[in-house]
Amino acid sequence: MNPRIAFAASKTEEAQSALVALRAAHGDIKPADADVIVALGGDGFMLQTLHRHRDLGRPVYGMKLGSVGFLMNQFHAEDLLARIERARTTQLRPLEMTAVSESGTTVEAIAFNEVSLLRQTKQAAHVRVSLNGVVKLDELICDGVLVATPAGSTAYNLSAHGPILPLDSRVLAMTAISPFRPRRWRGAVLPASVEVRFEILDHYKRPVSATADANEVRDIVEVTVRESATRTATLLFDPEHNLEQRILDEQFAY
């Protein structure tokens, strides 16, 4: 039997036009009733789709109709059913963020790409970094710091000169953003089982925000980050467009 497909598209004219054509050809199924979700857009829209439908547990097949498409397949309207049938699965395990703000509010969020901390004003952030309850950096002075998954290591993490991680490596990247002290500290590669804790020093004078993908919490005093032990998301990729191979190839791009 052919899979039941739910379509979702970004708001760009190109994606909306493709959405109309694909629904006319394959029907208009609600995500909860579908076997697979097809996302039309760029990487940002793919992340939105993963977050919006994460509790359904449906695999997501993306087609690139946006500016960046590292998590997407090439767009071709024809042979969609055959492409989905032969697609290879990739499991993503997101990060879980728990952030405590100055008001005492606790916010929990997940991130498929990264959790990032950024200064809110012109003054640098002062951050204490602990791993599994052990302080590793008493004071990191920086514009920010992030923890990235392997899938997210080619995104903001790479722009901040962090390492590209193989998809099945079961490690995380911790990368400083414009570090001032320690001068030569450029980050660390961490086992996926580690719990990272960031404490914001002098947070009233030097406010910091925390963002899990697109979910931002401002004026934080403490953030804990860990890889989820229970949540996963499944992406589908054409065999010739395998995500693991593209992450490997990205290390040799120039």
For residue 214, what are its two tokens? 């697109």
Which among 199, 186, 193, 155 has a CA at the least distance from the CA of 172? Answer: 193
Our answer to whether residue 219 is catalytic in this structure is no
Catalytic, out of 43, 55, 143, 168: 43
Rounded to whole angstroms, the Cα distance separating 113 from 25 reads: 33
Rounded to whole angstroms, the Cα distance separating 35 from 59 reads: 8
**SS3 letters for the chain?**
CCCCEEEEECCCHHHHHHHHHHHHHHCCCCHHHCCEEEEEECHHHHHHHHHHCCCCCCCEEEEECCCCCCCCECCCCCCHHHHHHHCEEEEECCEEEEEEECCCCEEEEEECCEEEEEECCCCCEEEEEEECCEEEEEEEEECEEEEECCCCCCCHHHHCCCCCCCCCCCEEEEEEECCCECCCCCCEEEECCCEEEEEEECCCCCCEEEEECCEEECCEEEEEEEECCCCCEEEEECHHHCHHHHHHHHCCCC
For residue 47, what are its two tokens? 């992340």
For residue 42, what are its two tokens? 């760029």
**Residues assigned a catalytic role:** 43
